[in-house]
Amino acid sequence: MEQANRIECTVGIALRKRRCIEPEYVFGRVKWCWGFRRFLLRGIEKVKVEWGLLSIAHNISRLVVIQWA
């Protein structure tokens, strides 16, 4: 029952609203701006590495934008 109270409180509602927006920006940017539609490698481990590289590139590009702002 404690978990249900956390979800229904105002802090929980705010966190759930934020959750919908934050990941969508990253996926949209990777797909639309960078043209990434499918993984080039096969296998879970290789896909994890490929996604990790995309994540690093995204984080570096965010840092560059913040530095120039």
For residue range 48-64, list pLDDT tens digits in order. 999 999 999 999 988 88
Whether residue 58 contacts residue 26, with contact meaning beta carbons closer than 8 Å, is answered with yes
- The share of the chain scoring above pLDDT 90, in percent, equals 30
Residue written as token pair 């994890």: 48
Buried b (16+ CB within 10 A) or exposed e, 5-28: eeeeeeeeeeeeeeeeeeeeeeee
What pLDDT is attached to residue 56? 94
| 14-29 average pLDDT score | 74
Sequence ranges of the domains in the chain:
1-37, 38-69
- The share of the chain scoring above pLDDT 70, in percent, equals 84
pTM of the model: 0.60
45: amino acid identity, one letter: E
| Cβ-based neighbour number of residue 39 at 10 Å | 14
What pLDDT is attached to residue 52? 94
